[in-house]
Structure 1
Amino acid sequence: MRKTMETAAIATGRLANIALWVAGAGLVAMTVMIAAQVFWRYVLNNSIVWSEPASVMVMGWFIFLGAAVGIREGYHLSFDVLLYVVPDAVKKLFHTLSDIMVAAFGGGMVFYGWQLAERAAHVQLPSLGISGAFDFAPIVGGGVLVVLFSLERILRRLAGLHTSRFGDTETAEA
């Protein structure tokens, strides 16, 4: 199992890097769109009608992709005061319970995000000319990555591999 998880960790690491690059490109694209909108509005006295809804859509992607990668790397929000006083075995149990809860939250993102997308699929976004389902695609995509990365953390821990948790003193067993 350990060798399989090491291979899987390489694949999910590459996926996380791709997600970070896409998120970074989205941040740059959103900044360019907003800057162009400001220039058009205040200098050219005109408006780019698609810039605001497109920027919000791109923002959704870079937020959810970045959050998913943060979960993989252990940078998500946690309340860990108790972890300083419990034995290592209990720490691992608490980390695993946390990862299970995060995976369940990601599953909820996928399930409810998909329902929202289905309900908005018949609506056309007037300024972009695309289906309203695209507004909810970042929730579904981010949720899929949250579930995947949380499950990876759980399986890596079970295989005795380090899980790269920020501030974590957990070590892998040989």
Structure 2
Amino acid sequence: MDRLLSLIDRGIRAVLVLVVAVMVAVVFAQVVARYGLNASIGWADEIARLAFVTTVFLGIAVAVRARAHIAIELAAAMLPAAVARAVRRLVLAGAAAFAAIVAWQAGLIAAEQWDERMISVELSSGWFLVPVVVGMAVSALNLAAAVAGERGRA
């Protein structure tokens, strides 16, 4: 399972590099067009917003995999090691369940609004939820793997 999650993580990182590059290029082009040429690129705002949402939710999955997400361990640090380990596992399991629920619900909402179109681009507005589904599903898998890994942690 760890090998599969590592492969997914590398793929997400590659997608993130591409998406951030697109976002920066589109925003830069929009600024130059608007303030330098006194013209606007009609689709730039929606594409930049889609890239931003993608960056945020795929970035969450990468942060969870790296265990760089926010954690408050003050109370757990004061507990005996075995109890602290159990508390960490419980919190990770709860976070995995929450991420899975968010992924599932985002998928349902995306399916419901798939026939709606973005204002300036001929794409479904459901595309805004695709990164939410992917990012939260991968986060749930990574958190579940962390629960299993927490068994051997002191």
TM-score by length of 2: 0.91
Tell me, yes or no, if structure 1 residue 86 matches structure 2 residue 79: yes
Aligned position for 1:164: none
Tell me, yes or no, if structure 1 residue 35 matches structure 2 residue 35: no
8 Å CA contact 1:23, 1:63 repeated in 2: no
Where do 5+ consecutive residues of structure 2 fail to align?
Answer: none
Question: Which one of 6, 14, 19 corresponds to residue 26 of structure 1?
Answer: 19
For the residue of structure 2 that corresponds to 1:86, the secondary structure is: coil
CA distance in 1, matches of 2:87, 2:11: 29
Tell me which amino acid in the other structure corresponds to 2:64.
I
How far off its partner does 1:107 sit?
A: 1.3
Tell me which amino acid in the other structure corresponds to 1:132.
S
For the residue of structure 1 that corresponds to 2:38, the secondary structure is: coil
Tell me, yes or no, if structure 1 residue 100 matches structure 2 residue 93: yes
Instruction: Tell which deviates more after alignment, 103-112 or 48-57.
Output: 103-112
Describe the superposition over 1:49-80 as per-residue Cα deviations: whole angstroms up to 9, x where unpaired.
Answer: 11111111111111111111211221112221
8 Å CA contact 2:99, 2:140 repeated in 1: yes
Tell me which amino acid in the other structure corresponds to 1:93.
A
CA distance in 2, matches of 1:14, 1:85: 36
CA RMSD of aligned residues (A): 1.5
Identity, in percent, stands at 22
Tell me, yes or no, if structure 1 residue 121 matches structure 2 residue 114: yes
Aligned position for 1:132: 125
For the residue of structure 2 that corresponds to 1:154, the secondary structure is: helix
1:102–1:21: structure 2 CA closer, same or farther, 3 Å change rule? same
CA distance in 2, matches of 1:145, 1:12: 8
CA distance in 2, matches of 1:10, 1:87: 32
TM-score by length of 1: 0.82
How far off its partner does 1:43 sit?
A: 1.5
| Number of matched pairs | 154
8 Å CA contact 1:106, 1:143 repeated in 2: yes
Aligned position for 1:50: 43
Describe the superposition over 1:116-149 as per-residue Cα deviations: whole angstroms up to 9, x where unpaired.
Answer: 2122211111311011111111111111111111
Aligned position for 1:165: none
Tell me which amino acid in the other structure corresponds to 1:52.
D
For the residue of structure 2 that corresponds to 1:130, the secondary structure is: coil
Aligned position for 2:7: 14
Aligned position for 1:143: 136
Where do 5+ consecutive residues of structure 1 fail to align?
Answer: 1-7, 161-169
Structure 1: 4+ residue segments shifted above 4 A: none
